[in-house]
Amino acid sequence: MTAADTARGTVGLCGLGNMGHAIAGRLALKYRVLGLDTDPARLAAAVDAHRVEPLDAITGFAETRVVLLSLPSPAVSVAVAEQLAEVLQPGSVVVETSTVNPSDIARTARVLRDRDVRLVDAAILSGVAQMASGVATLLLGGEGADLDLVQPYLAPLASTSTRFGPLGAGMAAKVINNAVAHAVMVVLAEAGALAAATGVPRGRLVELLAHPEAGLLRPLTHRFAERVLHGDYGGGMPTEAARKDSTLALAMAQETGVPLFAVQAAHTVYELAVADDLGRLDYASIAGLWERWTGRALADTARDAG
């Protein structure tokens, strides 16, 4: 695919659910959009709202060089990719925006590769409203040349696009981010319950945790960014002190009758770390347990070299 292909101004979109409908609206501001969905009502809604040109079969994408996927499951994405591989011309690019795992991206890529159709992943780190407003965030993975080719089609969708690495890296980043968000939500619910049980105003708790030096942000900005990424665990708050504080929190929970799940699970890690002779190192050194368990370094040596 060349710059001339991009200038033709046609893009395909497979899947017109809530997010796909919003994507269609953004693409239609700049491009002719060919749309396909198994639900006639969804297809009709996109036609009415965004002047999407409806397709009645996947063969209608034959004239396009870029097709975006916004589909409900990895299995559906693979099935659609198998059909697109029979239709798209060599050098075309499929953009996966559906939320899937890197292994699913690899499966889809294998399906397309035999026909010399390329794949990039563009994970959407935003809701439907942000997409509809053009202020979504995209987390990208794929070959640089392929990402360059599809960038004009992604530009109307997002105010921020970040390239995370090879194919699948964008999806991996999104899944990791969401896992952190969901786990932190459990921790925050536990913190709120402890605050309620001990007379701490919940609004004041929010103010405390939002402070850059407090317990929510400091582990990221200092311990992970400044210690784990550099493998530097000297000085700082010892792991054995972190274990002691965790023990106090568990005792408070028992005294006040507050169930803890995430904090209890986290405490186990500190027990293991102290048993593994990490007690006198900064408590960010618990990352070393995962390095040993997985055989992969967490330090970002490329970042240090740069």
Q: Could you read off the pLDDT of 33-57 as tens digits, one per residue?
A: 999 999 999 999 999 999 999 999 9
Interval 273-283 mean pLDDT:
98
Question: Exposed (0-12), middle (13-18) or buried (19+): which is 41, by Cβ within 10 Å?
Answer: exposed
Task: Compute the distance between CA of residue 300 and CA of residue 287 in angstroms, rounded to an integer.
Answer: 13
Structural contact between residues 53 and 136, judged by C-beta atoms closer than 8 angstroms: no
Q: Give pLDDT tens digits for 97-111.
A: 999 999 999 999 999
Strand partners, 36: 14
Partner residues linked to 141 by β-bridges: 121, 165
* Amino acid type, 49: A
Q: What is the pLDDT of residue 196?
A: 98
Sorting pLDDT into bands at 50, 70 and 90, what band is 301? low
pLDDT above 50 (res 114) = yes
pLDDT confidence band for 63 (50 / 70 / 90): confident
Closest CA to 31 of 6, 56, 60: 6
3-state secondary structure of 286: helix
Task: With beta carbons less than 8 A apart as the criterion, state whether 244 and 279 touch.
Answer: no
Distance between CA atoms of residues 16 and 28, nearest Å: 13
Surface-to-core class of residue 305, CB atoms within 10 Å of its CB (0-12 exposed, 13-18 middle, 19+ buried): exposed
Inform me whether the pLDDT recorded for 58 exceeds 50: yes
Integer Cα distance of 136 and 156 in angstroms: 9
Q: What percent of the chain has pLDDT over 70?
A: 95
The predicted-structure confidence for 224-245, as pLDDT tens digits, reads as follows: 999 999 999 999 999 999 999 9
Question: Is the pLDDT score of 246 beyond 50?
Answer: yes
> What are the tokens at 44?
């009709």
What pLDDT, in 10s, does the model give residues 171-205? 999 999 999 999 999 999 999 999 999 999 999 99
Mean pLDDT of all residues belonging to the chain: 95
Total residues belonging to the chain: 306
